[in-house]
Structure 1
């Protein structure tokens, strides 16, 4: 890659010196075993959709339908360019890399025979990461259910998914577990169930819009959520019984975590915020920590909320060694009718169940940096759910892809949120890692190739898909290498001395 110019280094310095009034901090202010990394997912990064034995997933099916594009057929071609990308990670000083395993690449029919070429790819990727001192953090399911299982029984609304997902996880633990110590079972469990089953807008399963009295739309959100918890618990139990004593890894569940704050100091808005927290946090966390759903959900949903048997409750309770947090934005919650920040096709039934309205906390955009919101989330989890170990598996700033290399808002965003994480740790939060979404420009769920979160620019218009470092890559490298003292007065000198003439990025 080409060296980062003095001009880019100077730009980063100016941004950091003037944008946020925060206390100075460095990488060394965090615990020594704290992991800083970056993230991708299989469908969004790998490409090679029909190569070497991979079969279609539900994401292949719907990406072509909804985005009227090639979807993730090629994406970043990480399948063929993984060595190049791992080299970029190593040059940055990345300590960990979060990625997912494509179920339909490893086991093309969803169950049964393993695809040897898919198996070899993941073994080689993990080996490459390890050889560069980068900790692999593996997500087993990132929305890409084999289409064959969706066609057979409807995916996550059918309990058959528990057995099939556990068998898939068993293969992953057996084949990769010696080198993988951090496993996330299911990505963004809450938003996955809300948006992709109740809403029926993505990933292969579509429920026609309907009202709660007549149809299944508002039922399937909670059925899918229930099966997600049972499948996670089944996989966790398998790992602890069969693999943990030898492999000594940890199993967690990931959830989408909006920052939630009352819009006013009125009692009504405070009550609405507590209901929102019960549905958006307690729905998954209370079973994982205490063994059952929140009382607010039981009262509101009645028979629409599945019930845990005593045996299921015991299996789910304590089944997460850590909680994976995906956080991008903070919102205000109000009891009064207000314009929602979410698109009109969002799961209206779910938010009607909450009985609250969600509005933006950003001054001009939902993507405005509101790092206090993440700090509040971590404090809330500490106080309400026994301070669980936490990895922030995704956090980042969307920008137009054509913004190219000068992503100064992303630099400001990442800096501010890392500072918020440090504050939370100082206040007692057991947060153990932070992953920027994303390592490089990807095929995105909303926005396709028009929006990106990457620290590396990918030129999707040319066959080689060349990677180029953005300002955010420059900043993160300096931070990880301990050469940037955030908010320091001599940051310009620091960056110039580090990146002037550098060939590492």
Structure 2
């Protein structure tokens, strides 16, 4: 097994180098969108300004006595500056989320006029610079009032409240927004926050985790079920009430690890297929075929909720596209092995899956090793198994320790490799529509706060003005989009120009 693992690492290195062949922006379809991404709580700050009320993210961040998003990047006040950075880079699209409690402070009921104005102004600013807004409705910031009232995503009441929130967004912003994602990475949201108890979810009490509420073996799948129903409800509303006039598209996003057998044994191959059913099919099979994978139904039995005939029909076909959140690839084995997920003291979901997850890269590194062959594998699997749906890569990037180092060469190499992999997938017939780097600028991150970051712009969080400074990755991405650099060449020259201060966006 050790020899096989060593061979896999060598193969990964060889495959990464194969993505450095020449490609340009013009090799991609003309209507393909290249952009960057953020989310409301991680970017906006201004958590108690102009009528915004707490979400579960606010509550959790303050309960843990760690860093928080009270100020974050101060995007609420600096959005015009950030849009100018995007325009200078040549970004074609920007993905951001709506803070539910900034727009509707009580979760339902009256709209906050100042919150409404902020998002209208942001969208107008993007449009005026030729940047397509891609809006995520829900990026984990559930109104605390709804969590207190009925427990959030484990209660079917969330379906009506989420649909009401979506209705306001469609009505107020839909004339200028053509791309909507309902729920961010619904898979990991369900199993990490309602099974593992990360940050602002629920979990079962164990000797390792002190949870006051939760039932991991049930709530993971109840929350996931309600997310699918809420997505389908919002999608149905959009298509019935707004789509004919606004002509937009609506989709759901999932967290998608690249999955590869740890050995060439039959057991590991079967375990990998089970992992695909749980990590991909859990959400995608209902969206495409109207029901959960047979493997999940067999393993989970009565713990897996059941769609009524009407619900099945509503969920089926409710996504115009699939949003993919992808960062890295893992190996899958049928035998006990170390987990990739650091919060895995409660392993319920993975025990159900009957597969063990091993990192394909250097787990001691701050960065994700580039494994672009894993992304190609995901895209090929979705093409073959789910009728080749339109796909946006909504997040892709690598973290590095947050400091003043602007020469983020590993990030440049990472992004370059994945863009090359994506082009290969397009040539092989995948219906790719867009790619978003996570993230535009350094953000407040869910589990690490401000210690590591993904941004193409450095943010000085010690500076009250939150000064932004471009990293090497910003110059590279801009040069790729504008066609001013040769991506086939070594980046040494770009580094030299960057160090000399002679490069400009």
Report the counterpart of residue 31 of structure 2 in structure 1: 33
Tell me, in whole angstroms, the C-alpha distance in 1 between the residues paired with 2:398 and 2:178. 28
| Alpha-carbon distance, 1:206 to partner | 5.2
Report the counterpart of residue 432 of structure 2 in structure 1: 431
| Superimposed CA distance per residue, residues 79-118 of structure 1 (whole angstroms, 9 cap, x where no aligned partner) | 0000000000000000000000000000000000000000
Report the counterpart of residue 48 of structure 1 in structure 2: 46
Tell me, in whole angstroms, the C-alpha distance in 1 between the residues paired with 2:172 and 2:89. 28
| Superimposed CA distance per residue, residues 20-63 of structure 1 (whole angstroms, 9 cap, x where no aligned partner) | 76211011110000000000000000000000000000000001
Report the counterpart of residue 338 of structure 2 in structure 1: 339
1:182 is the counterpart of 2:183: no
Instruction: Verify the 8 A CA contact 2:350 2:356 in the aligned structure 1.
Output: yes
Question: Helix, strand or coil: the match of 1:475?
Answer: helix
Measured at CA, do residues 384 and 168 of structure 1 come closer, stay the same or move farther in structure 2, by a change above 3 Å? same
1:351 is the counterpart of 2:353: no
Report the counterpart of residue 323 of structure 2 in structure 1: 324
Instruction: Verify the 8 A CA contact 1:262 1:270 in the aligned structure 2.
Output: yes
Gapped regions of structure 2 (runs ≥ 5): 1-15, 209-213
Measured at CA, do residues 52 and 70 of structure 1 come closer, stay the same or move farther in structure 2, by a change above 3 Å? farther
Measured at CA, do residues 33 and 356 of structure 1 come closer, stay the same or move farther in structure 2, by a change above 3 Å? same
Report the counterpart of residue 413 of structure 1 in structure 2: 414
Measured at CA, do residues 205 and 61 of structure 1 come closer, stay the same or move farther in structure 2, by a change above 3 Å? farther
| Superimposed CA distance per residue, residues 398-428 of structure 1 (whole angstroms, 9 cap, x where no aligned partner) | 0000152011111110000000000000000
- Residues 83-102 of structure 1 aligned to structure 2 (within 5 Å): 83-102=80-99
**What is the number of residues matched between the two proteins?**
483
Tell me, in whole angstroms, the C-alpha distance in 2 between the residues paired with 1:291 and 1:312. 8
Measured at CA, do residues 489 and 257 of structure 1 come closer, stay the same or move farther in structure 2, by a change above 3 Å? closer
Tell me how large the CA RMSD over aligned residues is.
2.1
| Alpha-carbon distance, 1:207 to partner | 4.4
Report the counterpart of residue 168 of structure 1 in structure 2: 165
Tell me, in whole angstroms, the C-alpha distance in 1 between the residues paired with 2:207 and 2:311. 30
Report the counterpart of residue 259 of structure 2 in structure 1: 260
| Alpha-carbon distance, 1:485 to partner | 2.5
| Superimposed CA distance per residue, residues 143-181 of structure 1 (whole angstroms, 9 cap, x where no aligned partner) | 000000000000000000000000000000000000000
Report the counterpart of residue 368 of structure 1 in structure 2: 369
Tell me, in whole angstroms, the C-alpha distance in 1 between the residues paired with 2:217 and 2:98. 30
Report the counterpart of residue 385 of structure 1 in structure 2: 386
Tell me, in whole angstroms, the C-alpha distance in 1 between the residues paired with 2:495 and 2:197. 50
Instruction: Verify the 8 A CA contact 1:22 1:487 in the aligned structure 2.
Output: yes
Gapped regions of structure 1 (runs ≥ 5): 1-17
Tell me, in whole angstroms, the C-alpha distance in 1 between the residues paired with 2:172 and 2:140. 22
Tell me, in whole angstroms, the C-alpha distance in 1 between the residues paired with 2:346 and 2:424. 34
Question: Helix, strand or coil: the match of 2:474?
Answer: helix
Tell me, in whole angstroms, the C-alpha distance in 1 between the residues paired with 2:409 and 2:194. 36
Measured at CA, do residues 405 and 155 of structure 1 come closer, stay the same or move farther in structure 2, by a change above 3 Å? same
Tell me, in whole angstroms, the C-alpha distance in 2 between the residues paired with 1:300 and 1:204. 24
| Alpha-carbon distance, 1:378 to partner | 0.5
- Residues 55-66 of structure 1 aligned to structure 2 (within 5 Å): 55-66=53-64
Instruction: Verify the 8 A CA contact 2:202 2:216 in the aligned structure 1.
Output: no
Instruction: Verify the 8 A CA contact 2:324 2:394 in the aligned structure 1.
Output: yes
Instruction: Verify the 8 A CA contact 1:36 1:95 in the aligned structure 2.
Output: yes
Tell me, in whole angstroms, the C-alpha distance in 2 between the residues paired with 1:426 and 1:188. 26
Normalising to structure 2: TM-score of the pair? 0.92
Report the counterpart of residue 289 of structure 1 in structure 2: 288
Tell me, in whole angstroms, the C-alpha distance in 1 between the residues paired with 2:26 and 2:496. 17
Measured at CA, do residues 489 and 79 of structure 1 come closer, stay the same or move farther in structure 2, by a change above 3 Å? closer
Normalising to structure 1: TM-score of the pair? 0.92
